[in-house]
Amino acid sequence: MGRRDARERILEAAYALFAHQGTRSVGVDAIIERSGVAKMTLYRHFKSKQDLVLAFLDRRETLWTEDWLIREVSTRASAPRERLLAIFDAYHDWFQTPDFEGCSFVNVLLEYQSDSPLRIAAAGHLAKVRAFVRDLATQADIKDAAVFCGVWHVLMNGCTIAAAEGDRQAALNVKRAAKVVLDHWAEG
């Protein structure tokens, strides 16, 4: 197995552990055990646990935001307004998965102090989710798209937290509120 294989095994192991258990609570030894690499190999690929968490966040953005959320919303609806609402349909399906893990970006954001590079990176990844929402709002001719996007993202995060608390119907319930918000903004 080559250098690339070891790096990928480490990142896959870290991804699975970090997504389901959080980044602070998972130690390097658990990642080493799950990936089957030596400690020296891990540190050859990632200079620190912080570098590994940053790589995890990048991978999460690729797999979750780009490959899943944006694609899923785009396949569920064609018009921007309907795509905004389709976010909650996609979330509902996500919440029903047996291994639903919540939002890794929010989790990392809450795990670290405000000046931590990890918290700053997590906030940056959340900003990319908001940019997706803002693009849809702009395409839907929603006035004050930036403010709307902030409100919409609160709805998205709120239903994710409610699902993590056990309310697996949260996305459908929030979708009803989101329709009211969308109608209000369309009038405004």
pLDDT by residue (tens digit) across 52-106? 999 999 999 999 999 999 999 999 999 999 999 999 999 999 999 999 999 999 9
Asked whether the domain spanning 57-187 has the same topology as the one spanning 1-47, the reply is: no
Say how many C-beta atoms besides its own lie within 10 A of residue 184's C-beta.
Answer: 11
Q: In the numeric block, which tokens belong to residue 125?
A: 């990844």
pLDDT digits (tens, 9 = 90+) for 141-168: 999 999 999 999 999 999 999 999 999 9
Closest CA to 55 of 100, 94, 12, 4: 12
Fold of 57-187: Tetracycline Repressor; domain 2 (1.10.357)
Categorise residue 22: left if φ over 0, alpha if ψ from -120 to 50, beta otherwise.
left
Residue 48 to residue 182: CA distance in whole angstroms: 44
pLDDT at 2 over 60: no
CA distance 2 to 177: 51
pLDDT computed for residue 168 by the predictor:
96
Map out the domains of the chain as residue ranges.
1-47, 57-187
Give the alpha-carbon dihedral of 163, 61, 12, 3, to 10 degrees: -170
Tell me the residue ranges of DSSP E strands in 79-136.
none
Fold assignment, 1-47: Arc Repressor Mutant, subunit A (1.10.10)
For the four alpha carbons of 32, 38, 41 and 47, in that order, the dihedral sign comes to: positive
